[in-house]
Amino acid sequence: MSPAVAGSGLLLFNKPFGVLCQFTDAEGRATLADYIDAPGYYAAGRLDRDSEGLLLLTNDGTIQQRISHPRFKLTKRYLVQVDGDIDEPALQALRRGVQLKDGPARATRVRRVEEPAELWEREPPIRVRRNIPTSWVEISLQEGRNRQVRRMTAAVNFPTLRLIRTHIGQHEVWSLRSGEWRFAPSAFQT
């Protein structure tokens, strides 16, 4: 076993809204360093500042590549609160695929869901409009282009209000409170 593999590890983090997926920021915004004290661990992939949920960090380059490189087709699942009462035609369009500026995008699975009971409060909360309903959708992807889920829901006329990544492969976020992290055994072979 090589030294890089001998000490390899995986860290699961429930990234809060407004936190950057990096350890420093010249503008003084919240970063991973405000939550995580694990020298040598770096984010395997990204999650937008205005998105929440599961972020994996590792100290092993091979694991990092298996998590983030599209050729491994690792499924990532998102819980999405959209503006409006999403209908079956919009869900079907997401399943078939929608055309984005950088090419077609298709979810591997899409279904309407209820808001999970275990969902944490977001700070700050999303805007609430009394006369416009919201709905929740679960979307699974095997690619991860920049702001892809947000662009996909906008393409079917249901803009994303809140986006939470709940799963990366077999790892899930539900055992962590917002801002909490823990080490975990890696499900990725090195």
Known catalytic residues?
Answer: 48
Question: What span, in angstroms and rounded, lies between the C-alpha atoms of 140 and 167?
Answer: 9
Q: 172 by DSSP, 3-state: which?
A: strand
CB within 8 Å of 89: residues ≥ 6 apart: none
Alpha-carbon torsion angle 39, 44, 48, 51, nearest 10: -90
Burial 106-132, CB ≥16 within 10 A → b, else e:
ebeebeeeeeeeebbebeeeeeeeeee
Euclidean distance between CA atoms 133 and 102, whole angstroms: 30
141, burial (CB in 10 Å: exposed 0-12, middle 13-18, buried 19+)? buried
Strands 181-184 and 10-15 come out as antiparallel
